């Protein structure tokens, strides 16, 4: 069971995320872990990082984990290790955080967008065939909000084209697809441990996981200046090592992740019960066989901006993930896309709203959120 620390809230104040409640429950464990690192005086590429790599890889059903400095670095290293070069193309959805696309751009490659399915917000596998070209070198499949993408048709398409599949698993650690954990489905999976994630560090941190010993060795080289032996670099690499302090913190949190996940899923069931009774609200969907871990609980509603303002005036936090699809970002104006090119992504960007979601959320808080939404929709 999730412990319920005694956090005092104003009756009408509900944050969208409350990390202080989490720290109130596990702070003593965190401080013990930090003291252990301080006593060791080993801060980079030490035992905490090695242990975390093994533990996270096991959770993801992968043979190897390689810790890096951020989720963005995980994407960049994964793309490079899978052979993406300047001028190549990578298929990915436009409805995602900008890091998914900018990691492609950082290597001098070109992101090629494939629209999403409107019910899951993940890439529509049927769109991949429309967008592939002879220059396509990889597919980035995003598991958005904690829901796996529909991987079987993606993997079948990739196999037919001999393309590697990289999972952007930043938001879906612990999720599963038809009984298989996210992180084990593609050639490589990339994790973010940004503080707001379901498994979050106290700063930036990330990891790549894979079943390929060859790729794992390449990641270890790329994250450490391309070194294959001490002071011997075989290629240009990065300084992207997961430090021991973050690794120690993440190992503490990892012990609680399954409990937190069950709490999030329970909250989602309660939200669904409340919100399905309100006309005009589309709760998040999870097809049969897709396990959702609810990094975000994201509804869809017309007049989204007005609803967010209404909630904010009543001290209920909410966030829009994400208001601008990648093809309409100024960063990608040179690609020449226009409004209407990816209609499902564009409409989602106009209508999605993420409600308060964290393990320590209470039923009366969810009820208040639902009642406030119902009040708005009656206006």
pLDDT digits (tens, 9 = 90+) for 298-319: 999 999 999 999 999 999 999 9
pLDDT of residue 379: 77
Average pLDDT over residues 187-206: 98
Average pLDDT over residues 120-138: 98
Average pLDDT over residues 227-256: 96
Average pLDDT over residues 119-125: 98
Q: Is the pLDDT of residue 321 over 50?
A: yes
Q: Is the pLDDT of residue 5 over 90?
A: no
Residues 25, 274, 349: CA angle, nearest 5 degrees:
85
71, 173 in Cβ contact below 8 A?
A: no
pLDDT of residue 31: 98
DSSP 95: S
Q: Is the pLDDT of residue 23 over 70?
A: yes
For the stretch 222-254, what's the b/e string if a residue is b when 16 or more beta carbons lie within 10 angstroms of its beta carbon? bbbeebeeeeeeeeebbebbbbbbbbbbbbbbb
pLDDT of residue 256: 98
pLDDT of residue 12: 64
Mean pLDDT of the chain: 96
Tokens of 88: 């190549």
Confidence band of 9 (pLDDT split at 50, 70, 90): very low
Average pLDDT over residues 348-360: 98
Q: How far apart are CA 287 and CA 157, in angstroms?
A: 20
Tokens of 178: 């038809």
Find tokens 């975000």 and name the residue: 296
pLDDT of residue 309: 98
Q: How far apart are CA 112 and CA 24, in angstroms?
A: 44
Instruction: Provide the pairing of β-strand 165-168 with 136-142.
Output: parallel
Confidence band of 24 (pLDDT split at 50, 70, 90): very high
**Edge-to-edge strands, sheet with 290-291:** 180-181, 176-177, 290-291
Question: Can you name the residues that pair with 141 across neighbouring β-strands?
Answer: 167
pLDDT of residue 11: 52
Average pLDDT over residues 155-176: 98
Average pLDDT over residues 135-154: 98
Average pLDDT over residues 152-156: 98
**CB atoms inside a 10 Å sphere around CB 66:** 30
Q: Is the pLDDT of residue 56 over 70?
A: yes
Average pLDDT over residues 340-355: 98
pLDDT of residue 65: 98
> Model pTM?
0.95
Q: Is the pLDDT of residue 210 over 60?
A: yes
Q: Is the pLDDT of residue 10 over 50?
A: no
CA gyration radius, the chain: 21
Q: By percentage, how much of the chain surpasses pLDDT 70?
A: 97
């Amino acid at each position: 069971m999730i412990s319920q620390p005694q956090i005092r809230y104003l009756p009408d104040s509900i944050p969208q995320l409350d990390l202080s409640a989490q720290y109130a429950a596990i702070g003593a464990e965190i401080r013990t872990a930090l003291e252990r690192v301080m006593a060791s005086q080993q801060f980079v590429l030490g035992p905490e990082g090695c242990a975390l790599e093994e533990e996270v890889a096991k959770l993801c059903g992968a043979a190897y984990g390689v810790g890096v400095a951020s989720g963005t670095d995980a994407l960049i290293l994964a793309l490079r290790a899978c052979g993406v070069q300047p001028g190549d193309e990578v298929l990915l959805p436009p409805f995602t955080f900008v890091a998914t696309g900018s990691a492609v751009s950082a290597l001098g490659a070109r992101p090629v967008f494939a629209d999403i399915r409107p019910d899951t917000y993940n890439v529509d596998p049927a769109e991949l065939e429309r967008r592939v070209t002879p220059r396509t070198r990889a597919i980035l499949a995003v598991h958005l909000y904690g829901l796996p993408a529909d991987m079987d048709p993606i993997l079948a398409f990739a196999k037919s084209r001999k393309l590697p599949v990289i999972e952007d698993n930043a938001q879906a650690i612990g999720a599963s697809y038809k009984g298989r954990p996210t992180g084990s489905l593609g050639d490589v999976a990339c994790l973010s441990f940004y503080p707001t994630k379901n498994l979050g560090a106290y700063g930036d941190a990330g990891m790549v996981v894979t079943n390929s010993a060859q790729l794992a060795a390449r990641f270890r080289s790329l994250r450490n200046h391309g070194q294959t032996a001490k002071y011997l670099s075989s290629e240009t690499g990065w300084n992207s090592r997961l430090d021991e302090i973050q690794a120690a913190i993440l190992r503490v949190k990892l012990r609680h992740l399954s409990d937190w996940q069950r709490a999030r899923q329970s909250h989602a069931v309660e939200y669904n019960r409340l919100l399905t009774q309100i006309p005009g609200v589309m709760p998040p969907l999870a097809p049969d066989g897709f396990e959702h871990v609810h990094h975000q609980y994201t509804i869809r509603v017309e007049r989204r901006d007005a609803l967010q303002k209404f909630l904010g005036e009543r001290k209920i936090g909410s966030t829009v993930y994400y208001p601008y699809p990648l093809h309409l970002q100024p960063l990608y104006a040179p690609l020449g896309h226009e409004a209407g090119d990816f209609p499902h992504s564009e409409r989602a960007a106009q209508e999605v709203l993420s409600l308060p979601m964290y393990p320590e959320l209470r039923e009366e808080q969810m009820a208040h959120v639902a009642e406030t939404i119902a009040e708005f929709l009656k206006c």
